[in-house]
Every structure is written in C-alpha cells, then in structure tokens.
Structure 1
Amino acid sequence: MSLPDIDAVAALDAPVIKPVWFAFLDINGDPVRCNTSGVSLLVDGTGDPDLDGQTFTGIGGDLVDISPVSVREGGSERVTAQLSGLPPLDDDILGQLDNPANWQGRVARLWRTIRNAANEQEGGFQAYYTGYMTALDFAGDESGGIIRVTIETYLAAFSQASNRTYLDQERYDPDDWSARASIAIANGLTQNPGAVIGGGSGYGGGYGGGVTAPRVNDL
C-alpha cells in the first residue's frame, strides 16, 4: 500500500474532504472497474496501466462496503469488498462468475483519491490495496448486480504462511522502531468508504451507454 502524496496529505487537514475509491477486479473476460463518485470517470495520466485509459463505472459511496485494511507484522489482513448498484448481470456474466477459474487467484486492486469541499481532486491516486481474489459471491436482477469478493495478499492466496517478516528490525536493534511506525501509519491512513468525511461526492446519477465519461483530470 502506498501513502498519499504531498498534495493529498495537505488536503487531509481541511475540515471537509470527499475521498473517492476506485476498484478493479480482474475477472476473466469481463473485468469490473468502478468508483464511488457516482459518475463514470475515464482515468488518464497516472502512469499506472491498470488505471490509464480505463473507464470506471460510477456508483454511490453508500453502495460500496470495504472492510478496513489492517497492516501487521508479516503482511496485511484479508479484505472484503461488496459492490452494489453495478450494471445488471446478464447470463454471460453470471456464467463467468460461476466458474472460479475466471476470478480465483486473479488481481484485485483498490485506489483512493482525495477531493476538497468543491469536489476538486487534490493530489494523485493512492494505491490503497492490491491482492488476489480468493472467494466471490454474486447476485443480481434487472435492477442491478452485487458482487462480494474476498481479497488476500500474494502469500496468503498462493502459499502457506512462511512466518517470515521484514518488520523485525527491533529484534536486532532495540532503538529501531521503524516497523511500529510503518504499521501505525498504514493503519491510520485507511478508511472505509462508508465513513467518508463530509458525506457524498456531490455528483448524482451516472452515465448511460453512448455517453463519454469525463476524464478525472478534467474535474
């Protein structure tokens, strides 16, 4: 997990901030990309191939539930994410989700951006969490779809625990508390979208088919 850049950190001191979360689930044949601003956004200029040139469907922040990201010695805990209000899941999509080979062990990524009270983005994208899907539940009807996914780190998803850690400096140098500081910072800078400061993004509705989504850098 990366930390916010200097502009985003400065914006966090404001009395009202409006974070926006972006999610990418690499489902084979039909990847899911969405964001919590309430409006579909075309991302560009970040240098991240999983973001640039991709449109992230806008859903409301109240339709997203992401468990807290807890960092500890040895790595981070598993994360669960439930995305509601997605476009309706047709038979083809349901068939893909019903086959674990299409999603199990594939990448899932979460990012966060910070907006001020005027919905202007402050700073760039923070890579909030990256892992691999290990469990997935889904449901849907003509009104929309729901996907609930469990995401784990590489070691948890693909191997047995090694019990190794790079955060044991204090064992060799009692005055080196960098591991404690890193864990505290990581845990202190993560937040569930359901607890957004300042309420919603201020955008309503979404973009239907055939309408070009605005670029993030244009907002």
Structure 2
Amino acid sequence: MNFCDITLNGAHLKTLGSGALWWPDQDLLCVSDLHFGKSERMARRGGPSLPPYETRDTLTRLAADLDHTQARTVICLGDSFDDLQAAQSLPEEERLWITRLQAGRRWVWIEGNHDPGPIDLGGSHLAQLAMPPLTFRHVATPEEAAEISGHYHPKVTLPTRGRSISRPAFLLDAHRLILPAYGTYTGGLRSHDGVLAGLMGPDATAILTGATPVRIPMPRL
C-alpha cells in the first residue's frame, strides 16, 4: 500500500495513492466524493450516456483499501451519491456490496451538496463529525482549523516533456486537508483555481495520487 505520511493538528495520517485517507490511531478510513450513480443521474437528466460501471469500479477500489487497512470506522465525506434519486436507484447487487463493506464497521455518511438528506442504507448520516483533534465535513470553512473536507475534487496539473499531466491530489496546509474525489466518474478543480488558492495557506502542499504518491508545493498561478 503506497502512502505519504502527514500530520494535521497533531494527528498522524497517511494519504493513500488511491485518494483515501488513513488514520491508523483511530482505525479510520476516509474517502470523499464517491458520486455513486453518476451515470444513472446523467442519463435520467438527458446528459451523455456513460457506461454504468462507475459504482462497481469505485467499490472495488474501496474494498481493496479496506482490506489493506482493516479500518473499523469509515467516513464518507459527502457527495457519496450523485443525487438522492441515484442513491435510491442503485442496483440491488451494489446495495448489497455496500452492506457487506459496512458489516462490523462504524460507517458515517457526511452530508454533501449532492446528497443533503438521509439515505436508505446502513450507517449514520451527519452534517459533520468532530473527532478531536480533527473535524470532518464536506466543504472547507475558511475560519475553521484542523478540518478534513472534500467537495472541490482538487487536482494538480504539471508540465512534463512538452505536455501537461493532471492527477487528483490532496491539498494540505497548517489548518486543513482537502481530499481528492474518490469516485470513478469525477472531474477536478486545478489547485491554482482562485477558490482553492484562497482557502489554502501560503505553506500549502499538494500530494499527488497514484502508484507513488508525490508531495510538492501546491502549484499556484
């Protein structure tokens, strides 16, 4: 399992190459922006047709991370479903898969802007969760310290050999950690976007996901 060690407000964490966050001292795995059911939601709203396999692919990667970490607590940081109807429309096989992953674990669904209400699956549904010394929520708040959030799907674009490559990335400064989107069908917001540049402090770093996580100063314009 590939990871990068980080510390936030005294908590020792590991950012995994998959885009998940592992907190060993709490036996806790955190993922953000799964967007289950995105292909169904897009088809329902007249958007482009996408192969309806993103939920299975995301669950496969999540199951692998749970096997590696043996986490006893899972926090899904909001936008776990592309909308509430997408949650209700999940095929039975995928609902049962989620139930199997939940078995024997504390499972927390944090409220997101895509899924603001309770869902008909196991686990608890919360607006945010305080686990001192950290707070888990969907959207970062500029005035808050020691928070872990998602929402923005951050990614980093780097020039290499005459072309650019983009990879989802964690963004970390002294006060917050923003997770990349974990879901298969998710885009991203570049780290130099004004919203992220305004949220993250001048000391911010980016941790690129992939087979070998790489930590660099957060790219800015």
TM-score band, normalised by shorter chain: under 0.3
- TM-score, normalising length: structure 2: 0.27
Larger Rg: 1
Higher relative contact order (CA 8 A, sep 6+): 1
- TM-score, normalising length: structure 1: 0.27
